């Protein structure tokens, strides 16, 4: 058999929607400068789908530093992997700044967040070790565990009784193997918007011997008194063994970092294959992240504006009768009842008739018969954006409840050319 013969989009979970989804629901093209208003298919939209939490992506101070760094260094510098030829004093300076920010001994800057988490897990554990992780773990965590040739156990989402049972299973395994246990949680779960139960997990350390890794991609920059993350929010920074953050969200950049005890970070620095054998993070982004970090630390008004908008849209949606789950973070999921047809037609209506661009999530991420509209408020949004959006949501909810979207045909891709 020719290996290419199996490449049929219709046989894949997302590819089967290609015929009517490509270019509109999937791979949509937003145009214009990054912000709360952008263009989609030539029409201006209020955009609620970007993780630009603090509005830094198009902030004039950030743009200025990015441009100056690009002019000075170009996009290729440094030309090589950090272990061989791509290490610079600016990379190390950023690592020290990040470690200080999240109150750890040391930090290691990663050229990509997703790739970094995969490689962190691969490096931390061996065949003797056991991983215990939340069932709603992000795809990068799942992919990292696929490289693990030892045992792994899943616990029910934020369910400490389930976690304890899996820790008991893990302990039974390591008695035979002589390995250790790594527990992995997220700080903020990006779809449901719930916080990982860090207090509950850490309380179990009194009974079980394990190390805790937190993926705080959505928490760094947004959660806690200084924006240092979800563990800061809970007052538990000293209890979380390894802290992972990304630059792709609140920092509005590319890359990430892992922070923790110096000996562990040095071990990762010398053993993470995705960093040893890959080109270093380009200098303009390193300099740019330094500026973004400085702004996060010295401009609390950015975070205050974000949270004012978060409270405004979440309270407005709740008062209007919408189910937004148990969110304690800026991520705002709006859960609605209906199938794929209703979900697709509702999104088309929002974009075409209300000029509102949101992301939509359906089964299998959420149960059958339910879909969610994922709203990401930012410091860049205005109260007018929020008022317009809540009014539109009230109207589409009425249409959904009346069965209006169930009777429509989902537009074909020819209507929405790529």
pLDDT at residue 278 greater than cutoff 70:
yes
pLDDT at residue 366 greater than cutoff 90:
no
| CATH number for region 3-53+300-415 | 3.90.1150.10
Q: Shortest CA distance to 374 belongs to which of 327, 339, 411?
A: 327
The mean per-residue pLDDT over the stretch 11-34 comes to: 86
| CATH number for region 60-298 | 3.40.640.10
pTM attached to this predicted model: 0.94
Instruction: Output the DSSP codes for 9-53.
Output: GGGSTTGGGHHHHBTTTBS--EESSSSSEEEETTEEEEE-----T
Task: Output the average pLDDT for the chain.
Answer: 94
How far is it, in rounded angstroms, from Cα 216 to Cα 228?
A: 10
- In the chain, % of residues over pLDDT 70: 98
The ranges assigned to domains in the chain are: 3-53+300-415, 60-298
The confidence score (pLDDT) of residue 412 equals 59
The confidence score (pLDDT) of residue 416 equals 63
pLDDT tens for residues 170-193?
999 999 999 999 999 999 999 889
Q: By the 8 A CB rule, do 390 and 320 touch?
A: yes
The confidence score (pLDDT) of residue 367 equals 82
pLDDT at residue 4 greater than cutoff 70:
yes
pLDDT tens for residues 293-352?
999 999 999 999 999 999 999 999 999 999 999 999 999 999 999 988 899 999 999 999
pLDDT at residue 13 greater than cutoff 80:
no
Q: By the 8 A CB rule, do 235 and 225 touch?
A: no
């Amino acid at each position: 058999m020719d290996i290419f013969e199996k490449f049929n989009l219709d046989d894949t979970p997302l590819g089967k929607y290609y015929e009517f989804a490509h270019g509109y629901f999937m791979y949509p093209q937003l145009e214009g400068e990054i912000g709360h208003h952008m263009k989609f298919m030539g029409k201006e939209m209020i955009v609620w789908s970007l993780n630009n939490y603090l509005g830094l992506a198009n902030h004039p101070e950030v743009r200025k530093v990015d441009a100056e760094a690009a002019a000075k260094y170009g996009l290729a510098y440094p030309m090589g992997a950090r272990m061989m030829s791509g290490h610079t004093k600016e990379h190390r300076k950023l690592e020290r700044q990040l470690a200080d920010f999240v109150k750890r001994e040391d930090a290691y800057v990663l050229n990509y967040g997703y790739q970094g988490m995969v490689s962190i897990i691969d490096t931390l554990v061996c065949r003797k070790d056991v991983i215990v992780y939340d069932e709603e773990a992000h795809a990068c965590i799942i992919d990292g565990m696929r490289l693990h040739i030892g045992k792994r156990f899943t616990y029910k989402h934020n369910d400490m009784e389930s976690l304890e049972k899996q820790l008991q299973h893990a302990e039974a395994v390591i008695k035979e193997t002589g390995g250790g246990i790594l527990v992995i949680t997220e700080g903020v779960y990006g779809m449901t918007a719930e916080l990982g139960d860090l207090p509950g997990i850490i309380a179990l350390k009194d009974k079980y011997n394990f190390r805790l890794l937190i993926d705080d991609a959505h928490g760094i920059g947004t959660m806690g008194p200084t924006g240092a993350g979800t563990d800061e929010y809970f007052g538990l920074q000293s209890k979380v063994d390894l802290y992972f953050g990304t630059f792709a969200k609140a920092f509005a950049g590319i890359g990430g970092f892992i922070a923790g005890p110096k000996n562990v970070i040095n071990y990762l620095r010398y053993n993470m294959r995705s960093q040893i054998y890959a080109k270093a993070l380009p200098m303009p982004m390193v300099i740019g992240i330094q500026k973004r970090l400085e702004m996060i630390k010295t401009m609390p008004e950015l975070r205050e504006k974000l949270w004012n908008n978060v409270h405004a849209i979440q309270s407005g949606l709740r008062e209007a009768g919408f189910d937004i789950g148990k969110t304690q973070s800026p991520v705002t999921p709006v859960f609605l009842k209906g199938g794929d047809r209703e979900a697709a037609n509702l999104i088309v209506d929002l974009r075409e008739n209300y000029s509102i661009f949101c992301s939509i999530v359906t089964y299998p991420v959420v149960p059958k018969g339910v879909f969610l509209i994922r709203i990401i408020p930012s410091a860049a949004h205005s109260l007018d954006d929020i008022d317009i959006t809540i009014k539109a949501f009230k109207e589409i909810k009425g249409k959904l409840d009346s069965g209006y979207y169930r009777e429509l045909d989902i537009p074909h891709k020819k209507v929405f050319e790529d």
